[in-house]
């Protein structure tokens, strides 16, 4: 946005250099002396903040993201941006103490960024971001020579459009490349665009990754015409390091630096913005904290602004709410679905394929979750992977017999059952299955009664719950029994075990002439 005045000599340069080491040599003639202002007589914009993609966990830098197969991912984010004194000027006035008067053409600026992105495939992000000035206030007395616009005007900023690709998107490292352009849609009266209304383009390259509980990322944006002195263009770098301190809370440090080119009107083309540029530096180290529950993320960040670039606030605060829906791991190639640790993250995307973990940690367990079962708090068995349980004594504990009674509260941890985890009729004692009442055919009958059917159902469940039992031996008593009856009973047992879906290799039927007629004994064969 053009401000008033003309270029001045070396005294202005010395003043700015003494403050930040970088500056713009700017000034004006006025009835009260000379003036120097940020971005004086140049492209002044207060919407310098370029948020990262809506999918990123960081404020300005691109972050790592787990790849996915089929489906479309999308993300939305609204960011509130408050800047204190983003546009300042110093008036040299012999009538005031010290000879200088510090004023702020824009003292308070509140902007809202509304952004979103869509990811049709895991390696491509298409994004939009639009800033809005919702509040602006400042010192109208800072309008040197009456040419600068007064604060208090609401408006929209330059629409940002981006396309970013991820040529490397592995379990531990992401490389992102692409570009963004700014469409000149902003409101000059709200200091939301440059007066010459140029299209602006930046090439973007970023690296990011995750190491344990720490996530990091660095993003570099370069405007090619910056090197030709294009008015208002920049080279900017943002980094971030965020530590996940709790399952839903993280804390981070996010420094940002940018070098801007500013060309006063009398040394630049009105049509291209190219010319003899001065350079101004902006530094904004920020602290961030975030709450993240599932796909929802709420971030609060703040920090100070250093340097002489227009739009660099004395202090900045950010508040954002974002939602990111990731695509599903549904690759077409069946070989890519192998999940060795059965944690829902296929091995090809799993940074810890031999340890069950969380999807948001790329398949790795939380550092406070040694057994990798997803329970970091109230885990009654911290060294053994387990499942959720209503009883605090069993939460996060294994259930070896898979009867929904975790081992600490299961009276029979290797024998599935519904009565406090125990079967109703059968118990395994050493290598023999003991049934109460005993399993037997009644009289000369060869039919299976309900109690025998239920007892054999429990035997089969116990065999399945104990992988060390490779085969059982079902002994049928034939003492003083007729052959025809024995044959009928053997066939009934074969049919019963077949109905129980027990593999034929895991049982054998043995006729025992030492066992009472019709009695059945079941033992572990091997």
Per-10-residue mean pLDDT for the chain, 526 residues long? 29 31 29 37 76 94 80 91 87 62 84 94 91 86 50 86 92 90 88 79 95 91 91 92 91 96 65 77 96 91 90 94 73 62 75 73 68 73 82 88 90 90 90 90 86 91 88 90 90 90 89 89 88
Please state, as a whole number, how many other Cβ atoms lie within 10 Å of the Cβ of residue 49.
Answer: 22
CA angle 337, 341, 347 (to 5 degrees): 40
Q: Where are the domains of the chain?
A: 10-325, 330-367, 370-408, 426-524
Q: Where is 60: in which H helix or E strand? A: none
pLDDT of residue 433: 92
The DSSP call for residue 366 is: P
Burial class (CB in 10 A: 0-12, 13-18, 19+), 104: buried
Cβ neighbours of 443 (radius 10 Å): 9
Query: How would you class 415 by CB atoms within 10 Å of its CB: exposed for 0-12, middle for 13-18, buried for 19 or more?
Result: buried
Residues recorded for the chain: 526
CATH class of the region 426-524: alpha beta
CATH placement of domain 10-325: 2.40.160.40
Full-model pTM? 0.59
Please state, in angstroms and rounded to a whole number, the distance separating the CA atoms of residues 71 and 357. Answer: 23
Encoded tokens for 210: 């995750």
- pLDDT score of 24: 28
Residue among 41, 153, 160, 49 nearest 108 (CA): 153
pLDDT at 285: 96
Beta strands in 65-158 (DSSP E): 73-92, 100-121, 124-137, 155-156
Give the pLDDT of residue 330: 46
Residues 353 and 337 sit within 8 Å (Cβ to Cβ): no
Q: At what angle do helices 483-499 and 450-465 cross, to 10 degrees?
A: 50
The contacts of residue 364 (CB under 8 Å, 6+ apart) are 212, 350, 351, 352, 355, 357, 358
CA 312 to chain centre: 29
H or E element, residue 325 = strand 315-325
Contact 337, 90 (CB under 8 A): no
149, 178 contact by CB (below 8 A): no
């Amino acid at each position: 946005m053009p401000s008033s005045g003309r270029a001045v000599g070396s005294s202005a340069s010395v003043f700015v250099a003494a403050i930040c080491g970088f500056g713009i040599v700017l000034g004006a003639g006025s009835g009260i002396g000379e003036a120097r202002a940020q971005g004086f007589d140049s492209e002044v914009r207060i919407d310098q903040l370029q948020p990262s993609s809506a999918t990123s966990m960081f404020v300005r830098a691109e972050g790592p993201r787990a790849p996915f197969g089929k489906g479309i991912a999308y993300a939305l984010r609204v960011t509130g941006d408050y800047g204190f004194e983003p546009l300042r000027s110093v008036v040299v006035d012999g009538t005031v103490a010290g000879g200088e008067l510090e004023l702020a053409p824009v003292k308070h600026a509140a902007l809202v960024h509304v952004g979103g992105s869509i990811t049709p495939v895991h390696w491509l992000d298409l994004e939009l971001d639009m800033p809005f000035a919702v509040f602006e206030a400042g010192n109208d007395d800072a309008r040197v020579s009456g040419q600068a616009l007064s604060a208090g005007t609401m408006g929209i900023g330059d629409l940002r459009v981006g396309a970013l690709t991820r040529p490397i998107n592995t379990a531990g490292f992401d490389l992102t490349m692409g570009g963004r352009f700014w469409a000149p849609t902003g409101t000059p009266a709200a200091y939301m665009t440059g007066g010459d209304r140029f299209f602006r383009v930046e090439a973007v390259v970023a690296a990011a990754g995750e190491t344990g509980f720490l996530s990091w990322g660095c993003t570099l944006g370069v405007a090619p015409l910056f090197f030709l002195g294009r008015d208002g263009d920049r080279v900017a770098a943002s980094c971030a390091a965020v530590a996940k301190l709790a399952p839903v809370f993280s804390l981070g440090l996010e420094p940002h630096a940018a070098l801007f080119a500013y060309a006063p009107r009398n040394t630049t083309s009105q049509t291209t913005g190219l010319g003899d540029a001065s350079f101004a530096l902006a530094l904004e180290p920020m602290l961030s904290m975030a709450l993240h529950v599932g796909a929802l993320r709420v971030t609060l960040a703040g920090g100070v602004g250093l340097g002489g670039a227009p739009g660099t606030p004395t202090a900045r605060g950010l508040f954002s709410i974002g939602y990111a829906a990731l695509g599903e791991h549904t690759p077409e190639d069946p070989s890519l679905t192998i999940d060795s640790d059965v944690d829902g993250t296929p091995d090809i995307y799993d940074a810890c394929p031999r340890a069950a973990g969380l999807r948001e940690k790329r398949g790795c367990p939380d550092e406070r979750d040694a057994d990798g079962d997803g329970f970091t708090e109230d885990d009654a068995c911290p060294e053994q992977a387990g499942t959720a349980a209503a009883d605090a004594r069993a939460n996060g504990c294994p259930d070896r017999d898979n009867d929904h009674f975790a081992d600490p509260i299961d009276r029979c941890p290797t024998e599935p059952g519904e009565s406090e985890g125990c079967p109703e009729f059968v118990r395994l004692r050493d290598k023999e299955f003991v049934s109460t009442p005993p399993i037997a055919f009644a009289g000369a009958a060869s039919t299976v009664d309900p109690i025998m059917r239920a007892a054999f159902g429990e035997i089969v469940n116990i065999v399945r719950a104990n992988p060390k039992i490779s085969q059982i031996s079902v002994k049928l008593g034939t003492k003083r029994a007729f052959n025809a009856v024995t044959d009928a009973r053997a066939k009934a047992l074969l049919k019963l075990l077949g109905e129980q879906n027990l593999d034929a290799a895991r049982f054998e039927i043995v006729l025992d002439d030492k066992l009472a007629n019709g009695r059945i004994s079941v033992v572990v064969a091997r």
